[in-house]
Each structure stands twice: as structure tokens, then as C-alpha cells.
Amino acid sequence: MVTTLRLNDLTVRIDDGELIALLRGTHEYIHQKGSPGWRSSDTEMFPIIGPTAEAGFRVDTPRGSATQDQHGLLREMAYTLTEATDVHAVYEKTYPAGKRIANSKFPAKSSAEHLSWPYDFRFRKTFTLGADGLEVAFEISGEAGMPYMLGYHPAFRLTSDAVTVEANGESIALANVIAVGDRAYQVKDCKEVTLRSGDDGSLRLTTEGFGSFMLWSPVASMICVEPVSFYPYDVAQTELHEGFRSLGDTPARFSVRLEPVES
């Protein structure tokens, strides 16, 4: 079911928790499904970030080894819409420890038929539209001590040849991002980037809680600008657990603000 948020000249469309449109007037910022590059428009990477094939699709936790495919099992679960207004929408996923989740990559791209995690958790995704842009917020609640990583994986539509990402005083060309390939271009210790386009499609991303970004693009017509709590290629796949944070007694909160800006 598609939920639409509107305020002034901004329009947001969300399809069962997936951000499929962000428009200012008639200009679309979000990569559209069916266009070259990627089959989705946004997703979350949780409770792990990164590939696991070389580790036999296993990740170490304090409660033993868990079966996880690339970027975790959350993306294999369906959201439930729990609240909606003209400018606000809340989606949730709830997981009971040990439940086996069918892996959509099996058998074509993975030998892991089912995925599982040895902890209960609830994952909440909230969209709030304001006069200057859209905030996407995340709340993770569950058992204290649960290890986790979180990455947000939105894809943006590009309509100009003159595209750069401005981060930490550096201007990163799209060609450099594409050249890195599936490992994704790392932007360390960064809370804000601007996707700068020669047309009216420039967008500022401001984050809380994540700490860094990954940039990924397989084609010149789109780019993923991904806030992450951990860059997974800093370690071997068998050592992904080194990137875990630990859930405390209160929910962990993260946010990303998407703000259209002048080119």
C-alpha cells in the first residue's frame, strides 16, 4: 500500500515502508524501480552490514553463530504501517529470536535458504515531512546487549552529467564512486554530505547516530548515499562481528534528513 505525504511543494510516497518518491514540485530525487542500476529505491542494512558468503553466511554473536546473508535479514521482513497523517508515517518490523526467515537470494545467489538471529528486536522506521525536507528516523529496541550494525541504503536519481558528492571538504566525482565497485566508496567520520548536481537535483543529507557513509553506484543515472554505523570492508568477512555496537537498556535512535538545496 502506498502512503503519500504532502507539505507545500514537497511530496513523499512510501510503498510498504520503502521510500519510492521525494519530489519538490515535479523534480524527482529518488531512483525509480525498473530503471537501470538497482531493483529497489531504499532499504535498511540490519543487523549486519556487508557480505557474508566467504564466511559461509555465518556471523559470530555472543549467543553463537547466526545465519545472515549480505546486509542482514531485516530486508526480508515486511513492514506494518502503524500510524499515518498528511506529513508523518510510522512503520514497524518485529522479530522473535531464532525465527527462520526465507532468503530471497536462495538458491540463485546464495546457498543459505533461511536466515535467523538469536535476539528479539523491534525496528521502527518513521518518515516526517517538514518545510525544508524529509526526516527518516530509525529506532531499534530489544534485548540489552544485542549486537547490531545499522545502515540506511537510499538510491537517488541522477539527471545531470555534472555530479559530485561533497563530504569532509572533499568533492568526490561520480566516476570515482563507480570505479570502486561493489565494495562501495568509504567516507569516514562524516555526518553530512551534499549530493551536488548541475541541475536542480542537489540534496543535502544530515545524519545522527551513524558516523560514516558508503557511496555506491553501478550506473551513471543513480547513486546510493548510505549512512552506516560501520564500514564492513575494513575487516575480513569472518570478522564482521568486530563492527558490532551493543544495544543498551533504552532504544537506539538514528536519523537521516534529506533536504533539497540550490545547485
- At 125 the pLDDT is 98
Residue 227 in grid coordinates: 549512512
Cα distance between residue 244 and residue 155, in whole Å: 25
Sign for the pseudo-dihedral over CA of 132, 138, 263, 219: negative
CA nearest neighbour of 150 among 205, 232, 78: 232
The model's pTM is 0.96
Please give the chain's pLDDT, 263 residues, in tens.
999 999 999 999 999 999 999 999 999 999 999 999 999 999 999 999 999 999 999 999 999 999 999 999 999 999 999 999 999 999 999 999 999 999 999 999 999 999 999 999 999 999 999 999 999 999 999 999 999 999 999 999 998 878 999 999 999 999 999 999 999 999 999 999 999 987 778 999 999 999 999 999 999 999 999 999 999 999 999 999 999 999 999 999 999 999 999 87
- At 197 the pLDDT is 86
- At 198 the pLDDT is 77
